[in-house]
Amino acid sequence: MGGPLIDGPVPVVRPTVYSRCLHRAAQRAGGLRALSRLLRVPKDDLLRYMTGVEQPPRPVFLAAVDIVVASDPVPVLRKELRRADPAA
């Protein structure tokens, strides 16, 4: 599977449902940097999740799923993040 379009390919070491979903979310969000900002996840952590080296925390994965399935992912994602972090 190819990586995010804007930031170049991110290799998948161990394909998982998590890594595939995060790759798709990055494509929808506009690239790896954009997804990192939207999810409020450091880029290095996101790369570990996207390569399949580590499993993402549940709130990160569910927010990525929302991005993939939403017709306009940004409002849906903001709502999901507020639910996970009331201070946001």
The domains of the chain are located at 17-84
Q: Give me the pLDDT at residue 42, please.
A: 96
On the CB side of 10, how many CA atoms lie within 13 Å of its CA?
29
The CA distance from 74 to 8, in Å, is 22
50-59: pLDDT as tens digits: 999 999 999 9
Alpha-carbon distance of 24 to 44, in angstroms, equals 18
Q: What is the pLDDT of residue 76?
A: 57
Q: Is the dihedral of CA 22, 60, 87, 82 positive or negative?
A: positive
Q: Which positions of the chain have pLDDT values less than 70?
A: 1-9, 72-88
Contacts of residue 62, defined as CB under 8 A and 6 or more positions apart, other chains included, come to 80
> Residue 10: its pLDDT value, please?
73
CA distance 38 to 48: 17
